[in-house]
Amino acid sequence: SDVCSSDLLVDQVKLRPGARGREFHPAMATQIEPDLTEDQVRIITIKSAHGPTAAMEVNGQLLFAAGLFTMSREYTEAWTIINPILKHKYPILLTRKIKRILDIHAISEGLRSVFMYVECGRKDAQAWAYSLGFEPTGEILNYANPGAGVFIFTKDFNHGPSNSIYSGRRNRQDGD
């Protein structure tokens, strides 16, 4: 819908001097993560065509791209491409802005939940999924290659705004 267009998401990620939101184009994928394979870029191209996307740059360098691959209200996948060098320089900005992008879309579209895949061997990525508000809900063995599994992490939006990034602010104001 128009409520959650790429333009809205780009506007929402503006935060600090030197940082600005940009519309994401698949050609930007390898500028963010140079080690992506052709297959990975092809998958990102498909996913970015089926849901809102946004990118953020800091001081002229692309920090991340994020989006939601929306197939239905019950089946929406979050995806990200993160600059492997800049992620260490701007970890808080990266996490807050991606969380905001995902929450804005999910809430405005009335999605029931959003999921993401996280490689089983990536403890850092699993910790990051938790920080975005996702919880582990399943596992797929031999997902991409024999022996390479993924955890499925899900963020539930069925319980209203309590799962949104705004819940802490509201609860503190209410005295909870």
Per-run averaged pLDDT (10 residues), the chain, 176 residues: 42 58 87 92 91 88 91 84 93 90 84 89 91 92 73 81 41 36
Q: What is the pLDDT of residue 119?
A: 87
CB 109 within 8 A of CB 1: yes
Cα dist from 60 to 2, 49, 84, 154, 173, whole Å: 28, 25, 16, 32, 37
CA dist 33 and 158 (Å) reads 34
Cα dist from 176 to 38, 158, 167, 169, 171, whole Å: 49, 21, 11, 10, 5
- Token pair 């390479």 is found at 148
Q: What is the pLDDT of residue 14?
A: 47
